[in-house]
Amino acid sequence: MEIEKGLFDHMVLQVDDKKLTDTEFSGFCKTYGKVILTVKDTNGIVKNFKNVCVGEAKNGNFTGKIKGLKAGGPYDFEISIQGKDGKSYEKKKIKDVVAGYVWVAAGQSNMQGCGMLKDAEKPHKMVRAFYTSDKWDIAKDPIHNLWECVDDVHVDLGVVRGQITRPLTGTGPAVSFAKEMFRLTGIPQGIIACAHGGTSMSQWDPELKNLGGKSLYGATLRRVRKNGGKIEGIIWYQGESDSTQQACCLYSERMKKLVTSFRKDLKDQNLPFVAVQIGRFINTGFQRQYWNSIQDQQYRLLKKIKNFSIVPSVDLSLDDTIHISGRDHKILGKRIAYAMNVLVHGKKAGFPPIELDEKKIEAKAVPPNNYVDITLKFKNVAKSFIMPGGVRPAGFSIGDPEPGPFVYDIGIAKDTVILRTNLSLSGIEGKLLYHGYGLDPYCNVKDAHERIIPVFGPVRLGRYRALTPMVTEWDCFFPFDLPEGVDAQLNGLGIQHCSGINWSHIRFQTRFCDLHEKLVDYSGRDFVIWFSKRIRISEPMKLAACLGYDGPVKIWLDNREIFHDPAGTNPAWEDRAIVKFDAEPGEHKIVIALGSNKCRAWGIYFRLERLDIPKKFIRQNLVFPMPEFI
């Protein structure tokens, strides 16, 4: 008798919702008859499992089903085939089997395990692993012993059988995850190790399953089916290899396809799936926008895939430039277990991932400077956000679109984060909110269950508007004495007055084009400051010039006056004036005259808004043509 599927020494049998087994096993034999099973534990023969007929043998094959065995163990199995003469043939013993939850651990290197082995989780006899050698044993890192792999896909991806290339590393989160699940549930845990470092979503494509063990997806299915075909859920850590311009835009759809395919092929439409959100990277080789895009897509999958959860890792320490440390894999494993336990057992087990409640973003001007406090309310916070004494909350930034010096302090209160900014109420319009911006951010806001806020962003602040960044480069000229017939409110000033002047190109350091340090020698005088900029339009557009100013002002578009405010005065704020105009394709010139307001005027804010883009396009972050400053 040779067992091919479903029952092996040291294995974990998957249990159902009632914590009872319903597992099929099969193999090859030479005898015809009934398959007889006896199960023993430390107390002797298990009740209702003495010489039980569990299947049939014929035509060189046998099948059986272990139904109703309680979660726990260890159990020893005695199997035989009872012939028509009543005698037992082809007896076989299977030792040290437990019944509990079985999980697939899949993805790339951080799931495979690259943390230092000296920091690995201590083994536990009730936590087992189905190693890549197709053998069950007590789970001990590295559980991905790829140098002993059965499936050829690992060899095709560069593994040399019999060659251990990194003897000091191999710690991942799966063993810590399973130990914590054992602590939470009290029943044995099994891990089917299926990850491979450096692999992309295209290499995990379910369409390749027909290749069997020569594809990652096919090899995973083979290994699950070899162990009875049933699992409790999947834990996943992957995404680094898809942080490229070509791949990142396909990530969400590929993840949705992967989860759907696993659920279909494993015949469980609600199969729990927990993905780790990729963490930090300290090196060259990846670009920030694609790395952050993967993180944000993983965060947004919470609303796109049912019975799906994510676990942040952005705050964890590394053992090299990209791999979670062996020490912090223990933290990560516990976080994955927390998230999985909530998926499996519901609200009584804890809270879903922390999410920004985008309907609860509120901005309020605070005296005396009337700078804006932005209050961010979060969902699923365990009790409250907690910071150790003396530690300043960090990780949030506001961009235009790149993060700028807008947030000067961060506060926390229960389920809210308060960003104290140097922006005005109009100044937040079109700004973008980030948490965990960049390849190596510092994030530290956690709740009472030690769960950190996931990386997310960009999230648009204020109304949905199609805005260019603030213009910070201008051709300028000053001081320009008031021509005859022109007063301090710029009455009588025309575009012809700036013809023939010698422009100077100035690059300003902030979004406010501030000239006050250059004007100190002209104190008390009235004069004109000229600003000029060219724009390129690719298609007909309805636009608005969004101007902030602190003195009398005029704007011309292609020598046509489109705005005049003779009463302009301090202070300047973003979008003080919104000047609408139509623009045809081609190049255009914008000229702005700012009255010095007896040298109390410092400068301007300026950007353009496209008015003919539907809000739903902006909300979905779709790409559309915008004016280009040249």
| Residues ≥6 apart with Cβ < 8 Å to 124 | 138, 139, 179, 182
Q: What is the DSSP track for 69-135?
A: EESEEEEEEEEEEE-TTS-EEEEEEEEEEEEEEEEEEEESHHHH--EEGGGPPPP-TTEEEE-TTS-
Joined together, the tokens standing for residue 532 give 């000029």
Q: Are strands 88-107 and 12-14 parallel, antiparallel or unpaired?
A: parallel
Alpha carbons 49 and 78: distance in angstroms, whole number: 10
Question: Looking at residue 358, what is its pLDDT?
Answer: 81
Q: What are phi and psi of 457, to 5 degrees?
A: 120, 155
Average pLDDT, the chain: 95
Helix (H) or strand (E) holding 471: none
Bridge partners of residue 65, in order along the sequence: 24
pTM value is 0.85
Question: Looking at residue 423, what is its pLDDT?
Answer: 87
* Ranges of CATH 2.60.40.2550 domains, the chain: 2-98
- Cα pseudo-dihedral 228, 229, 230, 233, rounded to 10: 130
| Residues ≥6 apart with Cβ < 8 Å to 150 | 132, 133, 134, 213
Residue of 182, 267, 204, 195 lying closest to 231 (CA atoms):
267
Question: Looking at residue 67, what is its pLDDT?
Answer: 97
Question: Is residue 291 helix, strand or coil?
Answer: helix
Which amino acid, residue 399? Answer: G
CATH class name, domain 2-98? mainly beta
Question: Is residue 37 helix, strand or coil?
Answer: strand
* Ranges of CATH 2.60.120.260 domains, the chain: 473-629
Q: What are phi and psi of 262, to 5 degrees?
A: -60, -45
Strand residue runs (E) in 142-228: 169-171, 189-193
CATH topology of domain 473-629: Jelly Rolls (2.60.120)
Which amino acid, residue 627? Answer: P
Helix (H) or strand (E) holding 332: helix 326-345
CATH topology of domain 100-284+301-349: Rossmann fold (3.40.50)
Residue 580: CB atoms within 10 Å: 12
pLDDT digits (tens, 9 = 90+) for 321-345: 999 999 999 999 999 999 999 999 9
Helix (H) or strand (E) holding 555: strand 553-557
Question: Looking at residue 152, what is its pLDDT?
Answer: 98
* Ranges of CATH 3.40.50.1110 domains, the chain: 100-284+301-349
Measure CA of the first residue to CA of the last residue in the chain; give whole Å: 79
Low pLDDT (below 70) residues in the chain: none
Contact call for residues 371 and 419 (beta carbons, < 8 A): no
Residue of 322, 210, 200 lying closest to 250 (CA atoms):
200
Burial bucket for residue 309 (CB in 10 Å: 0-12, 13-18, 19+): buried
